[in-house]
Structure 1
């Protein structure tokens, strides 16, 4: 394996919105999604940059964008929190602890590393930079379910202290099952 020394840096909101097409391309490659979703995702990502607490980081190798992570403060007004509440209600909650978690979290909306650069610690470094100095008590993210959690994403999240909030959860509009994971901050 070739040694990779990425530069991890925070992006301002203008930098993020201008570079959204390149950042979304990394997302599409990392997730092996159809390129037909590109324009829609660019617009969604640009809209997300307007959420309170928005923070974005990128990973660069030789001036090439090879990773992106972003998130923002959770809010009861967001679609995602409505989904979390629905999932917790289906399990008989939210419990007092779960209610506290979903009342004070930073939503890790996206974390992606280009496939050619995975396995070099880039995701870990981006997560640490993204979640550094957050006022929230928790970070929450979702990731597609994988049998036996046998992929690099699960391995990374578990090593950072993320535990289960919801498992095999189906978000409205997506039939894939997801794991929703939570970690106390700071990591």
Structure 2
């Protein structure tokens, strides 16, 4: 009989950095990216452990790590924050509410579940625990656009109260457009 026990575990920043390779493998698998990006992503993920409020979680069972999520306080010196501000500027500038969001948000940098484990609630549990007591008034994340929002990621984010901040943003180096979503903290 297969062991179905599953645990969600917080990783220290050091533990996250040491295990960045296998965690990036989950990201590559879940996002359908070319494995050639692996080394660059590992390096990038390892550097992010110094971000203020860095928090990382994994879901694992006897077979190993099945999912990963991490995030940190959004700050103007990060690549993603600069992309967010650029997207708002292209749209005509940030509204007063959006300016308030930019001053106090937790960036859900990554949340990925192995494709064979998607649809079992791992993403929901990771997101709930990642955002529990997260520093900031808002949580922001981005996800690839799909026609009619017809995938598990959009379904999860919408069910957890995420709404549109920016749609169809083009990140450098990715051909797909992305939605940037927001929700107020704490989660309801």
TM over 0.5: yes
TM-score bracket for the superposition, by shorter chain length: over 0.9
Please identify, of 152-161 and 5-14, the stretch whose mean Cα deviation from structure 2 is larger: 5-14
- 1:5 is displaced (CA, Å) by 4.4
Structure 2 equivalent of residue 177 of structure 1: 177
Q: Distance in 2 between matches of 1:29 and 1:82?
A: 27
* Mapping for residues 117-128 of structure 1, pairs under 5 Å: 117-128=117-128
SS at match of 1:36: helix
- For this pair of structures, how many residues does the alignment match? 186
SS at match of 1:81: helix
The answer to whether the aligner puts 1:159 opposite 2:136 as a matched pair is no
- 1:161 is displaced (CA, Å) by 0.4
The answer to whether the aligner puts 1:60 opposite 2:57 as a matched pair is no
Q: Distance in 2 between matches of 1:91 and 1:74?
A: 20
Unaligned runs of 5+ in 2: none
Structure 2 equivalent of residue 95 of structure 1: 95
Q: Distance in 1 between matches of 2:114 and 2:159?
A: 20
SS at match of 1:97: helix
- 1:60 is displaced (CA, Å) by 0.3
Does the Cα contact within 8 Å between 2:73 and 2:135 map onto a contact in 1?
no
- 1:175 is displaced (CA, Å) by 3.0
Unaligned runs of 5+ in 1: none
* Mapping for residues 130-169 of structure 1, pairs under 5 Å: 130-169=130-169
Structure 2 equivalent of residue 6 of structure 1: 6
Deviations 1:108-149 (A, max 9, x none): 010000011111000000001111111200000000100000
Question: How high is the TM-score relative to the length of structure 1?
Answer: 0.95
Question: How high is the TM-score relative to the length of structure 2?
Answer: 0.94
Query: Alignment RMSD, CA only?
Result: 1.5
